[in-house]
Amino acid sequence: MAWLSQSKLVLRSDVLEAMVNPPTVTQQIPILMYHSISSCASQRFRPNIVTPEALEEQLTYLEESHYTSVTVTHFVQAMAKGGYTLPSRPIILTFDDGYEDFYTQALPALRCHGFTATLYITTGFIDGTSRWLRAKEDTTRPMLTWKQLAEINANGIECGAHSHTHRPLDMLPLDVVYEEIVHSKKLLEEHLGQMVSSFAYPFGYYSDRVQQIVQEAGFASACAVRLTMSSLFDNPYALARLAIRPDTSVHALATALSTGCGPLIASSAKRVRRCLRYSVRRAYGRLRHSRVAVKYVRRRD
């Protein structure tokens, strides 16, 4: 509770600071994306972990550099107000999937540095293990429990949805996409007793229709990946994030935040390749859906 009241004080001073020194509309806003905070992983899952020591080092850097954290929902609400409710050096920390190590490793570190975060939870694996990571051979990673989530929520961390079973939504039939999105929101809201307004696409994959379903389901924002800085002009349903990897150094993080360049930011060529790959995926997804629909109609006939 002491930490909660402390963060309220921080927020008030931020608002005052923003009134005196409002962010410019062109300001780049960093949204960092973490997954598991752990030292152990299978070879294939290794790119998705950051050790507790590396997280500590990065949070220390952010605190010493006078960054102030806000949640994703705070950020998108600030977008609508031209950024006036943002602190002068905002940072958004996001953690995907809902591993138990968010509770055991990330939460104590965030509290210690006075940071908040947005946690995206895959609801179908709460109280269980990372069973969907079969391809990464890392299926026994403990996931958060509902009890831990309630405590995380009470500590001022925003809890967002990350679908129910962590499947690539751009490849699924639309009725399944709808169920994945709506069910995860409903479950979280029932257990946490409050509105859940932010979503993150599993694997960062989405299409225009998926984006539309997220919006229709009542979410106010959705995080993609995109490997670049976000801004007040970003699409609130495809927010850009920077992926923090096990080998991300504090120097690389500092370079990205201060210059918008460096190894954390995708080059133009990489962005074009990514765009093309996504276009091919979306076209394939549409083809698959139309074939499923044709088969379904034929079966009915």
Q: What is the DSSP string of 2-21?
A: HHHHHHHHHHHHHHHHHHHS
Nearer to Zn ion, 97 or 180 (CB): 97
**DSSP reduced 3-state for 227:** coil
Nearer to Zn ion, 86 or 240 (CB): 240
Q: Which residue has the tokens 């107000």?
A: 81
> From the CB of 97, what's the least distance to Zn ion, in Å?
4
Shortest distance, position 166 Cβ to Zn ion, whole Å:
6
Which residue's CB is nearer to Zn ion, number 96 or number 234?
96
Least Å distance, CB 24 to Zn ion, is 32
3-class DSSP state of 249: coil
On whether the CB atoms of residues 99 and 36 are closer than 8 A, the answer is: yes
CB-nearer residue toward Zn ion: 35 or 282: 35
Q: Which is nearer to Zn ion, 207 or 231 (CB)?
A: 207
Chain position whose Cβ is nearest to Zn ion: 96
Least Cα distance to 264 among 226, 232, 237 occurs for 226
What phi and psi, each to the nearest 5 degrees, are found at residue 241?
-130, 160
The contact mask relative to Zn ion for 79-98 (x = CB under 5 A, - = no) is: -----------------xx-
CB 95, CB 119: distance < 8 Å: yes
Q: How far is the CB of 200 from Zn ion (least distance, A)?
A: 7
> What does residue 226 show for φ and ψ, rounded to 5 degrees?
70, -15
Confirm if 251 and 231 have CB atoms less than 8 A apart: no
Alpha carbon 197 to chain centroid, angstroms: 12
Of the pair 98, 156, the CB lying nearest Zn ion is at 98
Q: Does 14 bind Zn ion (CB under 5 A)?
A: no
Nearest distance, CB of residue 185 and Zn ion, angstroms: 16
Q: Which of 71, 70, 68 is nearest to 198 (CA)?
A: 71
Closest distance of CB 45 from Zn ion, Å: 12
Distance CA 229, CA 56 (A): 22
Residues in contact with Zn ion, shown as a per-residue x/- string from 190 to 219 under the rule CB under 5 A: ------------x-----------------
State the DSSP code for 203.
G
| Complex with Zn ion: residue 17 or 179, whichever CB lies closer | 179
Least distance to Zn ion, CB of residue 204, Å = 8
- Binding positions for Zn ion, rule: CB under 5 A: 96-97, 202
